[in-house]
Structure 1
């Protein structure tokens, strides 16, 4: 039986990865700031050695757009080397090397740390999760007019499908950088916003607003998209039907983590 530790194991993605791995018969340790018995703050690393003792594979889902990912990864990798962990699996984001966003740069830096760690490693990049897109649009829809960035599209993917892929990769040997995983459709942000409004029974005009800056140019160029890797099955409308109550104007059970994956432990 393989012993697998999942960082951020109580978060949007991590909890689903934990469930899949346990269903497959693996012994799984859940690491986050508050999950006993492996309550660890990766930013200081206290308790990591005990958490990693006897672990074969680490699935690193913990991340925060507020910062600290690089430091957390250094602590995790150092402890994994001390514990002779055989496989480090990291979930990253499509476009971290093409869109000049601070959080993306941090994710790319963690990819490099994994590659240079001396451990067996695998990196999977995925596009944004449906729940992040819904959270963004829900915030925009609080105004009488929904303002969306002009010329920007997205390709959201079902988080449960990404969890399934991670569980598959965790049970396999290290594979390096594996093919990206993206949702089934490239959709304009205008279209996604209108889909959300229909699902919530709201009536709002949607106005496209041009922005400025390198990050906006990277998004307009589609640096965060992977149309050639549209392997996801679940659509945004299916996500909305499952999680958004018509007329309530808010997401039901989707959470707010999206593909920022603020899953704790970092």
Structure 2
């Protein structure tokens, strides 16, 4: 039986990864700030050595747009090196090397840290995916609270199901380190306004969708499709199917 540590294991993705690993018969250690017995704050690393001791792989799902992912990654890599962990798997985002966003830049920095540590640290695998259906749902649900639903104009999204990503991570975690694997994109590339209208239909609501043209390099990157991976249409679950399950 393989022992696998999942950081951010109580989050949306981490909990799904943990479930799929357990279904396959693996021992799973769930690491999060408030989840004993491996309640570890990756910002200071207290208790991290105990959490990684003896595991066969680490699936690093913990992340926050508030900053500090690089600090957490450095502590995790050091602990993995000391414990002799053979494999670290990191989940990243399509476009982190192309979109000038602070959070994306941080994710890309962590990718490079993991790659550079490979010579003396754990073997590594990095998987990039497109945005999750859950993220699109939160975005349009928040905007739909207004009488008019404002959305960035000219932006398309390729959303993917969290469960499908979790399944792929579980598969990769139990294999050998594979380096940067092929990106994983959702089944459809659709205008954001189209996804918003699908949400409104599913909720039985009516709102005018107002395209708003924004300025800045990040918005230009989204308009150009820097966050999409049309050559890697892997997911099967559409946004409508996700909505049916979510709102059931």
TM-score, structure 1 as length reference: 0.91
Instruction: Give ranges in structure 1 of 5+ residues lacking alignment.
Output: 246-266
Partner of 1:207: 210
Query: Distance between the aligned counterparts of 1:234 and 1:114, measured in 2?
Result: 31
Query: Distance between the aligned counterparts of 2:129 and 2:215, measured in 1?
Result: 26
- Which of 189, 199, 210 aligns to 1:196? It is 199
The Cα of 1:244 is off from its aligned counterpart by 2.0
Query: Distance between the aligned counterparts of 2:103 and 2:235, measured in 1?
Result: 24
- Is 2:101 the partner of 1:98? no
Partner of 1:17: 17
Partner of 2:141: 138
How many pairs align?
Answer: 245
- Which of 224, 227, 238 aligns to 1:224? It is 227
- Which of 180, 189, 202 aligns to 2:183? It is 180
- More RCO (CA 8 Å, sep 6+): 1
The Cα of 1:93 is off from its aligned counterpart by 0.4
Query: Distance between the aligned counterparts of 2:216 and 2:66, measured in 1?
Result: 21
SS of corresponding position for 1:6: strand
The worse-fitting range, judged by mean Cα deviation, of 112-121 and 160-169 is: 112-121
**1:13-61 superposed Cα distances (whole Å, 9 cap, x missing partner):** 0001001111111111000001110000000000000111101100000
SS of corresponding position for 2:73: helix
Task: List structure 1 segments (4+ residues) > 4 angstroms apart after TM superposition.
Answer: none
Alignment of 1:44-123 (within 5 A): 44-118=44-118, 119-123=122-126
Partner of 1:29: 29
Instruction: Give ranges in structure 2 of 5+ residues lacking alignment.
Output: none
Query: Distance between the aligned counterparts of 2:17 and 2:148, measured in 1?
Result: 38
The Cα of 1:122 is off from its aligned counterpart by 0.2
SS of corresponding position for 2:10: coil
**1:186-239 superposed Cα distances (whole Å, 9 cap, x missing partner):** 000110110011011110001111100010000000000011111100000001
Partner of 1:253: none
CA RMSD of aligned residues (A): 0.7
Query: Distance between the aligned counterparts of 2:146 and 2:67, measured in 1?
Result: 29
- Which of 154, 158, 178 aligns to 2:157? It is 154
